[in-house]
Structure 1
């Protein structure tokens, strides 16, 4: 075989191998893109209009955790069909809550060296009304039933409630005047009927009763307490011990919360309980797994909360009266709110 023929064969082989390699890369990229679009094994998600305005059928809005182009976006499904295909908004939130057409969205701002965070107040169309710097990693968010107050909690240091080496910062803003209380630790504390001051206080997990009264968690001296807060008076009053991340029922009579159980493993110390505010009677729910979330009341008898899942988190429900059993409501979802 001549030298020219050998060179020609070599050139053809190189071209063919290059084509095969390129084809393999393009095929893999196409498959990857399809995985992002189709999200095999996860919920179906498509872009569309999401509103916080009550308009007919009740909706469930949450942070979508399904892999794909709409991950971390606020998405919505019919409240009575939480496993239905999702409509994604394009608005990304780490934590979220909404009521009466007002939303609070805690976002990461990605920088060249590190991330910063902000709290964004949204209107019913998910348009930004006002934003505020957040001092740390977002963890809790709530809006008052009227939509006039919004609260958020961030970790200033640490990233978990599991131990004692953390510090939180909780703020409340009035969406009518934009007056901001940027640190509830400045409120006057009454503990066990007496004025109380300490350097180790942490406040987190606000839940609103109305446009003045709220409940939250106070941590101090190695213990946690349910406190009732007064925005106008700027006071916090302890009501009950061993209460974290409270959530007030729609009828205003009960608090769902996570309670530390003696003897439970350090990494999973909490169980989901309900406290009757009139009698201070505690009821354990049928959910026996560790709960590190601020539960949401789906109605006066059912709780909705997040647990770890294949996509990061799933939403589960359980009766509030201790009966029944836990049931998965929606895969790949966290930070829910009901609209309508």
Structure 2
């Protein structure tokens, strides 16, 4: 079964679920599983870092990230916050599909989109307008053979929703490109709410691509770039680079200058299977799983200097609140 066939089945299943689950198809103010609609004091604002603690939306003080945290009842598998918009990928359950919940700064649910698959990545544009997400449709690892993903984008201002980036026209070496094995993941947005970057995998390559939301195009730029994350100044991409070009060997978190294409491996030498986050123009954050299965959030300088630092114990999905 080709990736396109899988995604067609995914889309049809999503439509079926949408018709069966009324609560998934419209704007909703109902919190998930008894979640509160009021944030804990201090969960928004530029002095906080948003994370997931045991699957719940939480925040910590930038000045004391390892200290006390404020935890809400909002449950997410992956989350990201920017400019008063929170993207929450709700976990899939035995009788429930995954879904994207768009929350405001007060944790009121403003929009939901039913999804099929296992939540994996999500990002919000700096303005809070655009939301991107990735789910595994088949498989549970980027290192696995035969995995497939579904990646979409929502424009919260217009309601325009692209359920799969396969709807866009891809270009490789300046020419339109067609293949049955296309997979996209790891969206990150520029400040203009139109251009974005993402990974496109095909024929053994994992390209960094630049997408144009309005033009519906995606252009391959450079190979061996996964889960890109654009710096606040729009000049660099933090990402995970497969060691020796082979994901089976793990990934090295790195930074690439977009103008010069210069690549700087960061001080973190452990395998990082995460989409890095820029806490500011100097610092990268990412999650690492411990042997007991818990996640910790670490940070390291973006210029390759220094050493990794444990930033927030037992937390993942970091994002700087703005």
The TM tier, using the shorter chain, reads 0.7 to 0.9
Cα drift, residue 322 of structure 1: 1.0
1:286 corresponds to which of 234, 259, 267: 267
| Structure 2 residues not aligned, in runs of 5+ | 1-37
Partner of 2:9: none
Larger Rg: 1
Are the equivalent residues in 2 in contact too, given 1:60–1:336 (CA < 8 A)? yes
Are the equivalent residues in 2 in contact too, given 1:52–1:98 (CA < 8 A)? no
2:82 corresponds to which of 99, 107, 131: 99
* CA-to-aligned-CA distance 1:104-133 (integer Å, 9 cap, x gap): 000124345xx5200111111111101001
- TM-score w.r.t. length of structure 2: 0.84
Q: CA-atom RMSD, angstroms?
A: 1.7
The alignment of Structure 1 onto Structure 2 pairs a total of residues equal to 283
Are the equivalent residues in 2 in contact too, given 1:52–1:100 (CA < 8 A)? no
Cα drift, residue 253 of structure 1: 0.5
User: Per the alignment, do residues 263 and 216 of structure 1 end up closer, same or farther by CA in structure 2, a change over 3 Å counting?
Assistant: closer
Partner of 1:240: 222
Partner of 1:213: 195
Supply the distance in 2 between the matched residues of 1:203 and 1:263 (Cα, whole angstroms): 18
Cα drift, residue 163 of structure 1: 2.2
2:63 corresponds to which of 80, 100, 110: 80
Are the equivalent residues in 2 in contact too, given 1:52–1:101 (CA < 8 A)? no
* CA-to-aligned-CA distance 1:151-206 (integer Å, 9 cap, x gap): 10000111110123111001101111211100001110110111111110001100
Supply the distance in 2 between the matched residues of 1:185 and 1:62 (Cα, whole angstroms): 30
Partner of 1:6: none
| Structure 1 residues not aligned, in runs of 5+ | 1-46, 66-71
Supply the distance in 2 between the matched residues of 1:99 and 1:190 (Cα, whole angstroms): 30
Find runs of 4+ consecutive structure 1 residues off by over 3 angstroms: 50-53
Partner of 1:229: 211
Supply the distance in 2 between the matched residues of 1:172 and 1:288 (Cα, whole angstroms): 32
Partner of 2:91: 108
2:40 corresponds to which of 49, 54, 65: 49
User: Per the alignment, do residues 207 and 263 of structure 1 end up closer, same or farther by CA in structure 2, a change over 3 Å counting?
Assistant: closer
User: Per the alignment, do residues 94 and 51 of structure 1 end up closer, same or farther by CA in structure 2, a change over 3 Å counting?
Assistant: farther
Partner of 2:174: 193
Are the equivalent residues in 2 in contact too, given 1:149–1:173 (CA < 8 A)? yes
Supply the distance in 2 between the matched residues of 1:127 and 1:318 (Cα, whole angstroms): 33
Cα drift, residue 137 of structure 1: 0.1
User: Per the alignment, do residues 248 and 200 of structure 1 end up closer, same or farther by CA in structure 2, a change over 3 Å counting?
Assistant: same
